[in-house]
């Protein structure tokens, strides 16, 4: 009998295949005392050494199959092996608690993973999976067992597992047609890798996954997050047809994505990538991003155990700028606070963190931290086409203060003999309703504006972007948000500066005609959406899109807007 399971769509596309359960071996751990503490420490050190060799090999395989950026996750694994707070802590506990190495490895891994998983930040939570991956490897090595070899899984299989780690995913053979897990989220590294490899994935099925047996035929939909167990033959045929069409569409869109996107009547729309870490550089290139519309620099601060130095930041910015040559790279200055905390900086508790001391507000209050970043940006600038963007701006005074600090940094660097390019465009994000309302005034102070609909929507509709209970109220297609977008575009056009959008709305292909019609010059999104959005831009007639936008601005609700957009024929 056919069964339908619902999880989270983590990597897009339809997949069909035979289920292969992958139950990972987890060695038994007891808290028996260590009879010889030195011997336990030696076993741990040998396990660490072997783990290092294995992870280095894995890194090579991953680099070959997915590119350097995806392989970088294994650098994080190697770093854990040398981390005094992790393996160092294990050694000192073996000594102080006189327990066996496997037990201590298990408890320290569990504690650190638990701590990371409890943090508010999604990125840090995903690091919990990485440390479990490393800990599991060490435990296997300590028990003398060989890790299961995923390359033995036959082609045409859908891998079914409780949880998948980056180490697992990197070693799956290319013929795997899907991945299905009980645990995991869209931001887990295994999910990101599945997207890069183009393997459809449904994660987070929970206990319902136990209904799947080895050898069942599975049809999974990585967009809707569904898994069908043993569907009738005609449904399998339909899914096969869907896979054929998807492949064709993707190939066509990807091929066409090499070219710039113009509307049918000749308006150029720039389509750029949002980048949240250096790992996104590969996919940006593969999907033909015309540049970076938003580099969220938070990753540099979140991956570090202290404030990142000017030197470290300079190197990272140079890497991104070098990768894009003369294409524009918009780097956003630090946006912490709100839902993003740093483990090494105690933020005072706030009643309303999203309305509190975040982003540009925090940076202006800590010129030491802000100037380190600005200096690093200016030092890296000669490596490419840098544009600097300030987040969460709500007043002219903030722009002027930030620009004054930037000028101060330029003067200092020039006195130190560092060459800084003359003209670096400086812009702001429009993500506070007040900024959209006075966009005409702000536009006179900046070289460009970029609309952050993720925050603009939550502030306009007074609906927390992360609160499931008000998720039905949170929709960027609400006419109130669209009116603010329209006002901003008009203000930009009057001031003669470009206006882009880098919130999630920009990457929704269904919305492309409306956004073009509202007057946006540039759309920036997660790299995988670029080909589809470019294809939509080409299909649109700008004049018709402008009429569509005019109608949308008069509608009463987000639902009405979405219905109108779906009916629109370009």
Would you call 474 helix, strand, or coil by DSSP?
Answer: coil
Assign 3-class secondary structure to 406-420: HHHHHHHHHHCCCCC
The interface mask with ligand PEP, positions 488-527, x = CB under 6 A, is: --------------xx------------------------
Contact predicate 433/460, CB 8 Å? yes
Give dist(CA 93, CA 41) in Å, integer: 10
Of 69, 163, 290, 455, the one binding ligand PEP by CB under 6 A = 455
Q: With contacts defined by CB under 6 A, name the span among 153-161, 203-211, 406-414, 449-457 that binds ligand PEP.
A: 449-457
Give the nearest residue (CB) to ligand PEP. Answer: 452
Cβ atoms within 10 A of the Cβ of 85, count?
10
Q: Is 187 in the site for ligand PEP (CB under 6 A)?
A: no
Active-site residue (options: 189, 288, 383, 478)? 189
Q: Is 431 in the site for ligand PEP (CB under 6 A)?
A: yes
Which of Mg ion, ligand PEP, none lies near 227, with the C-beta cut-off 5 to 8 A by kind?
A: none
Q: What percent of the residues of the chain are helix, what percent strand, and what percent coil, each to the nearest 5? A: 55, 15, 30
Task: Tell me the C-alpha to C-alpha distance, in Å, between residue 104 and each of 43, 111, 130, 146, 148.
Answer: 12, 10, 18, 20, 23
Give dist(CA 28, CA 34) in Å, integer: 16
Q: Measured from the CB of residue 43, what is the shortest distance to ligand PEP in angstroms?
A: 45
Q: Measured from the CB of residue 25, what is the shortest distance to ligand PEP in angstroms?
A: 40
Give dist(CA 369, CA 270) in Å, integer: 32
Task: Please indicate whether residue 288 is annotated as part of the active site.
Answer: no
Q: What are the DSSP E strand ranges found in 90-170?
A: 157-161
Give dist(CA 404, CA 402) in Å, integer: 5
Give dist(CA 179, CA 164) in Å, integer: 9
Q: Is 452 in the site for ligand PEP (CB under 6 A)?
A: yes
Give dist(CA 57, CA 448) in Å, integer: 45
Q: Is 478 in the site for ligand PEP (CB under 6 A)?
A: no
Task: Tell me the C-alpha to C-alpha distance, in Å, between residue 518 and each of 189, 435, 528.
Answer: 36, 17, 23
Residues that bind Mg ion (CB under 5 A): 431, 452, 455
Which of Mg ion, ligand PEP, none lies near 138, with the C-beta cut-off 5 to 8 A by kind?
A: none
Our CB check for ligand PEP shows the closer of 262 and 354 to be 354
Our CB check for ligand PEP shows the closer of 167 and 457 to be 457
Q: Measured from the CB of residue 209, what is the shortest distance to ligand PEP in angstroms?
A: 31
Give dist(CA 61, CA 74) in Å, integer: 11
Q: Measured from the CB of residue 390, what is the shortest distance to ligand PEP in angstroms?
A: 12
Task: Please indicate whether residue 345 is annotated as part of the active site.
Answer: no
Our CB check for ligand PEP shows the closer of 43 and 524 to be 524
Our CB check for ligand PEP shows the closer of 163 and 455 to be 455
Q: Which residues are catalytic?
A: 189, 502
- The residues of the shown chain that bind ligand PEP, judged by CB under 6 A, are 294, 296, 335, 431, 452-455, 502-503
């Amino acid at each position: 009998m056919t069964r339908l399971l619902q999880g989270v769509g983590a990597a897009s596309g339809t997949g069909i295949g035979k289920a292969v359960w992958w139950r990972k071996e987890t060695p038994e751990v007891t808290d028996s005392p260590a009879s010889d503490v030195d011997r336990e420490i030696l076993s741990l050190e040998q396990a660490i050494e072997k783990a290092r060799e294995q992870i280095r090999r894995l890194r090579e395989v991953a680099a070959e199959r997915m590119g350097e950026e995806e392989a970088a996750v294994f650098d994080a694994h190697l770093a854990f092996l040398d981390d005094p707070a992790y393996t160092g802590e294990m050694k000192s506990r073996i000594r102080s608690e006189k327990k066996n190495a496997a037990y201590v490895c298990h408890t320290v891994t569990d504690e650190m993973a638990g701590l990371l998983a409890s943090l508010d930040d999604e990125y840090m939570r995903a690091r919990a999976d990485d440390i479990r991956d490393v800990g599991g490897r060490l435990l296997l090595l300590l028990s003398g067992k060989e890790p299961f070899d995923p390359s033995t899984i036959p082609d045409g299989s859908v891998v079914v597992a409780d949880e998948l780690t980056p180490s697992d995913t990197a070693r799956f053979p290319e013929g795997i047609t899907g991945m299905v897990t009980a645990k995991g989220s869209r931001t887990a590294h295994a999910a990101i890798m599945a997207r890069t490899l183009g393997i459809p994935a449904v994660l987070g099925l929970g206990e319902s996954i136990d209904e799947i047996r080895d050898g069942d035929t599975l049809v999974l939909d990585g967009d809707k997050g569904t898994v069908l167990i043993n569907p009738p033959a005609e449904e399998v045929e339909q899914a096969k047809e869907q896979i054929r069409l998807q492949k064709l569409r993707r190939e066509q869109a990807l091929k066409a994505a090499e070219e710039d996107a113009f509307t049918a009547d000749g308006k150029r729309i720039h389509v750029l990538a949002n980048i949240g870490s250096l790992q996104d550089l590969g996919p940006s290139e593969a999907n033909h991003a015309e540049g970076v519309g938003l580099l969220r620099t938070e990753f540099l601060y979140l991956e570090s155990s202290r404030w990142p130095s000017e030197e470290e930041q300079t190197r990272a910015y140079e890497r991104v700028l070098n990768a894009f040559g003369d294409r524009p790279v918009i780097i956003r200055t630090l946006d912490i606070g709100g839902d993003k905390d740093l483990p090494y900086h105690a933020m005072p508790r706030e009643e309303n963190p999203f309305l509190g001391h975040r982003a540009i507000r925090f940076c202006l209050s800590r010129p030491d931290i802000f100037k380190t970043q600005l200096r690093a940006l200016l030092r890296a600038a000669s490596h490419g086409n840098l544009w600097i963007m300030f987040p969460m701006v709500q007043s002219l005074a903030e722009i002027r203060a930030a620009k004054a600090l930037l000028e101060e940094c330029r003067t200092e660097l020039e006195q130190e003999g560092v060459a800084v390019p003359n003209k670096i465009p400086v812009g702001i994000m429009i993500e506070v309703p007040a900024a959209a309302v006075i966009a005409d005034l702000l536009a006179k102070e900046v070289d460009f504006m970029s609309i952050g609909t993720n925050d603009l929507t939550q502030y306009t509709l007074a609906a927390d972007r992360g609160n499931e209970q008000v998720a039905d109220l949170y929709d960027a297609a609400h006419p109130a948000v669209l009116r603010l977008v329209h006002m901003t575009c008009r203000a930009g056009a009057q001031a003669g500066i470009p206006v882009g959008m880098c919130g999630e709305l920009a990457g929704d292909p269904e919305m492309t005609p409306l956004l073009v019609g509202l007057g946006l010059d540039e759309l920036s999104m997660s790299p995988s959406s670029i080909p589809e959005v470019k294809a939509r831009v080409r299909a649109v007639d700008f004049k018709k899109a402008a009429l569509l936008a005019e109608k949308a601005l008069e509608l009463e609700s987000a639902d009405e807007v979405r219905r109108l957009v779906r009916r629109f024929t370009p």
